[in-house]
Structure 1
Amino acid sequence: MKIDKIWCLLVLGLASCGTPSTLDVEKELNYGVSQIEATLTAIPDGNPNIPRNIREDGKTWRYVDYKDWTSGFWAGQLWYAYEFDDKLELKEAAERFTSELKPLAYEPVIDHDLGFQIFNSFGHGYRLTGNESYKNVVLAAADSLATLYNPVVGTILSWPRSVPNMEWPQHNTIIDNMINLELLFWASKNGGADSLYDIALKHAETTMENHFRDDYTSYHAVVYDKDTGKRIKQVTHQGYADDSMWARGQSWAIYGYTMVYRETKDVRFLDFAQKVTDVYLEHLPEDLVPYWDFNAPDIPDAPRDASAAAVVASALLELSQYLPQDKQQLYRSKAEGMLKSLAKHYHAAPKNSALLGQSTGHYPAGTEINTSINYADYYYLEALLRQKNYSKDGYLARSND
């Protein structure tokens, strides 16, 4: 990003740089609650019953069961809605959909997404209610996730099964896995084994060494030799090309290393979080919502990814508080600009009950393109709550410390 554009944001204000001038956080949170309540009225009896994304008709939800990697985002939205609105019916719905995910903590692990699934549901439930049974599930899930750790490689296995281009049975790790480390950090500080902290720390270090190009853009996946730990290849499974910057992958890196710094207070991670952030910000379009891949050949006609913008907005509200005033001010203004842009231009279509539209899931596979997806809504609510709860002590972290 050019210097004059940065100073436009800092000095002249966001309105003069192509983003809306104000953000009514309470209005957006109320909008989110009303959309969630509308979704609740449409959920079918029986399974699958967890809303994941809006179908191609633009109106109806596609539902998944508890094993889907996105299953925890819906329960998480309900907990965030309850945190804001304090309605008994929201709490009851959050408890209902959280309880459906309990088997994940005790069944054989099918992938690395237990953090997304369990920490976003039982973790928030414990934070908001103090229910000890929720804590027990979180701790069990952390132990289960740790079984995927390969100490020779130094990372958690992401997909313990055959996935195209992943050289199974070699060891694969995807950038998304950075978010799931929070489950391990939290468990280690709340009654779990100290080794959980060590696993999370080593995973973050190994990923930092192997998952990034010289310009700090992220590969989606790295494949390692499971027996020697040697890196075999770096690929971008859900991006445009192996050497492209897939927007959501970069957002996971920004969010993940911000969280790792919070949990470790190791300045290596604070420095790295800024590096992966700055390259993302440098290449954003004017409205601060990225195309699904920064190197997509059909820009400016390529689909956007509002989910990446929501993840980064939430991360920057936290990251900003750890930095000196000049960088803090830049990141805060960027995050607030992202939220304003999402509020003004990226609401879901009026005919459905999601919060945001124009997210992209797996473009190369032709799935969830330019639609509403539950994790976009989850991180949008999280970012709005962080913005609302800002105080002299900083933006509230997502963690349940």
Structure 2
Amino acid sequence: MKRKLYVAVWGMSLLTACSAPKTGAPEWFENAVKTSDHQLLYMAEQLKDVPDTACFPRSTKADGSYRLENAKDWTSGFYPGSMWLAYELSGDEALAKEARRYTDRLEDIQYYTGNHDIGFMMYCSYGNALRLKPEPKDKEILINSSESLCARFSPEIGLIRSWDFGDWSYPVIIDNMMNLEMLFWASEQTGNSKYRDIAIAHADKTLKNHFRENMTSYHVVSYSVPSGKVESKGTFQGYADSSAWARGQAWGVYGYTMCYRFTKNSVYLEAAHKIARFIMENRPSGNDYIPYWDYDAPDIPNAPRDASAAAVTASALLELYAYTEDQSLSDAYIEYAENILKQLSSPDYLAKENENKGFILMHSVGSFPHDSEVDVPLNYADYYYLEAMKRYKDLKKF
């Protein structure tokens, strides 16, 4: 029988209670939870007087100051989402209070159609709020957000458009797989199959055109309008058009694992297994689980690491294991994810309290080709690290 753990635990329609870690959690885990709790509240204190117009901490700048963004930035939902997850891990009500404060600052985004990442922005914030400390408006806000995401879907192309900039006719990036979760959720909540149908159409065409034979992913695939035919395959944030951008592989394994959760389509599950296999077989070394920012970076082993890619991968594997019939493979996923989390929770990656501007993890890469956010903290690294930690806690029953 297939395990049902994350169908129950991580389906966003299920409202769950929050509890502090029980006795028996390993020391590295308890230290990481304590540090994360402290860092997020420390950051909130540092930013308490920042105007609401640009209050979302995304990363740090070259001078060490905060990189703050407004609500329309694609990363705006990760800081409140991180606080919700940290609250779920520790039970600290101060985190829930700050999480709600930052979540509510995103309310107007429910009607924003200028960003395909509204799934990241709203589902990571309001989705977790709805699970943990729901307010009457939360569900409606997420449904409206799903409508806004659907506005970027072209029936002719069969995909949700990712970007509105650049020379591409109709660009779609692998990252967009992550935003489908909100659409699946909306379909379950409303009974309207439109959201699910759009998510499946996007997942199917992405699987057809984004992946190479070894299941590494192109970052950007552009389509001709109105024919919907592929006009180019390349990258924007990776090393080269033909390379395997690390976070892109992580988005892929997470995205297709999540799609399997909602559809039980074995094609998605097989895709997730194959992407996971590439990641696991191409780690830096036998005892090193944090990938370089691109698997084909020319200066390996001196290339920067990407903790964000590792965190997303760990979270994905902790769900993928639950759908894996092969016991040895299932165990391998758990072990690999555990090793990622232990390494991220070590002094090499886990910040000291009151340092790193309050971010939890160090050493992530945003866009190396643009010299943007290289070897810095990133709020989405923190988010998926905490999500993976929560999934690990549920698995181990601490």
- 2-side partners of 1:23 and 1:196: how far apart? 43
Q: Is the 8 A contact 2:129 2:138 kept in 1?
A: yes
Q: Is the 8 A contact 1:349 1:357 kept in 2?
A: no
Specify the code of the residue in structure 1 equivalent to 2:87. Y
Q: Displacement, 1:89?
A: 2.2
Specify the code of the residue in structure 2 equivalent to 1:296. A
Specify the code of the residue in structure 2 equivalent to 1:258. T
- 2-side partners of 1:391 and 1:303: how far apart? 32
- Give 1:336's aligned residue: 338
Pair 1:310-2:311 in alignment: yes
Pair 1:55-2:56 in alignment: no
Q: Is the 8 A contact 1:139 1:192 kept in 2?
A: no
- What do the CA deviations read for 1:120-155 (whole angstroms, capped 9, x no partner)? 011111111232310100000001100111112211
Is the partner of 1:186 in helix, strand or coil?
helix
- Give 1:10's aligned residue: none
Pair 1:389-2:389 in alignment: no
Pair 1:205-2:204 in alignment: yes
Greater Cα offset, 272-281 or 41-50: 41-50
- What do the CA deviations read for 1:246-285 (whole angstroms, capped 9, x no partner)? 0001100010001000010111111110011111111111
Gaps of 5+ in 1: 1-21, 396-401
Give the alignment partner of residue 105 of structure 2, picking from 87, 100, 103.
100
- 2-side partners of 1:226 and 1:99: how far apart? 37
- Give 1:363's aligned residue: 368
Specify the code of the residue in structure 1 equivalent to 2:314. A
CA separation of 1:23 and 1:236: change in aligned 2, threshold 3 A: farther
- What do the CA deviations read for 1:1-56 (whole angstroms, capped 9, x no partner)? xxxxxxxxxxxxxxxxxxxxx76322211111011111111003313111110222
Q: Is the 8 A contact 2:119 2:182 kept in 1?
A: yes
Q: Give the alignment's Cα RMSD to 1 decimal.
A: 1.5
Pair 1:346-2:352 in alignment: no
- 1-side partners of 2:349 and 2:142: how far apart? 33
CA separation of 1:338 and 1:23: change in aligned 2, threshold 3 A: farther
- Give 1:255's aligned residue: 254
Pair 1:122-2:129 in alignment: no
Q: Displacement, 1:391?
A: 5.6
- 2-side partners of 1:390 and 1:157: how far apart? 36
- 2-side partners of 1:226 and 1:327: how far apart? 42
- Give 2:6's aligned residue: none
- Give 2:270's aligned residue: 271
- Give 1:136's aligned residue: 140
Pair 1:29-2:33 in alignment: yes
Q: Displacement, 1:192?
A: 5.6
Is the partner of 1:52 in helix, strand or coil?
strand
Identity of aligned residues (%): 43
Q: Is the 8 A contact 1:23 1:340 kept in 2?
A: no
Is the partner of 2:368 in helix, strand or coil?
coil
- 1-side partners of 2:81 and 2:34: how far apart? 16
Q: Displacement, 1:328?
A: 0.3
Pair 1:81-2:98 in alignment: no
Q: Is the 8 A contact 1:150 1:226 kept in 2?
A: no
Task: Give the paired residue count.
Answer: 365
- Give 2:302's aligned residue: 301
- 2-side partners of 1:120 and 1:75: how far apart? 8
Q: Given the two structures, how large is their TM-score scaled by the length of structure 1?
A: 0.88
Q: Is the 8 A contact 2:172 2:220 kept in 1?
A: yes
- 2-side partners of 1:147 and 1:99: how far apart? 23
- 2-side partners of 1:264 and 1:23: how far apart? 37
Q: Displacement, 1:63?
A: 1.0
- 1-side partners of 2:239 and 2:188: how far apart? 39
Gaps of 5+ in 2: 1-25
- Give 1:162's aligned residue: 165
Specify the code of the residue in structure 2 equivalent to 1:282. E
Q: Displacement, 1:311?
A: 0.3
Q: Displacement, 1:349?
A: 6.1
CA separation of 1:62 and 1:349: change in aligned 2, threshold 3 A: farther
Q: Is the 8 A contact 1:23 1:339 kept in 2?
A: no
- Give 2:384's aligned residue: 379
- 1-side partners of 2:280 and 2:385: how far apart? 18
Specify the code of the residue in structure 2 equivalent to 1:49. C
Is the partner of 2:316 in helix, strand or coil?
helix
CA separation of 1:364 and 1:349: change in aligned 2, threshold 3 A: farther
Q: Displacement, 1:85?
A: 2.5
Q: Is the 8 A contact 1:172 1:224 kept in 2?
A: yes
- 2-side partners of 1:132 and 1:111: how far apart? 25
- What do the CA deviations read for 1:306-340 (whole angstroms, capped 9, x no partner)? 00000000110110111121110011100001111
Pair 1:148-2:152 in alignment: yes
Q: Is the 8 A contact 1:53 1:63 kept in 2?
A: yes
Q: Given the two structures, how large is their TM-score scaled by the length of structure 2?
A: 0.89
- 1-side partners of 2:271 and 2:76: how far apart? 30
